[in-house]
Structure 1
Amino acid sequence: MNDTGVVADPAPGQTSRTHRLRGLAATGFSATLAAMVATTLAAALAQAVGVDFKVRTRTG
C-alpha cells in the first residue's frame, strides 16, 4: 500500500489554533466593515433630514 500524500485531518470537533485565529480575524473584519457601512448610512440619513455635523470649537 502506498500512503504517500495522505494527510490526516484533525479529529472532529478539533480545529487548529491558526484556523480559529483566521476565523476570528474574518469575523472581526466583517463586523468592522458592517459597522462602517451602518455608520455611513446613518450619517447620510441624518444629513438628509437636516442634522448639522459641523464641529464648533471654543477659542480662548
Structure 2
Amino acid sequence: MIFVLFPVILVLNILYIIEVVAVVAELIEADSEVLTLQVINSDKRLAALRAYAQTA
C-alpha cells in the first residue's frame, strides 16, 4: 500500500511547492518557472521525486 501512496504524496508535495513558489514569484516580481526549477533542483527532499520521474 505504501508503494502506491508514495508517488501520490510526492506529486502533492510538488504541487504545493509550485503554488507557493508562484505566489512568492508574484510578490517579488520574478519568473515563477525559473524560481520553481531552482527550488526543485536545490531541495534534497525532492531527489526521490526526480529519481521516480526518471524511471517512469
Q: TM-score, normalised by structure 1?
A: 0.46
Higher RCO, 1 vs 2 (CA within 8 Å, ≥6 residues apart): 2
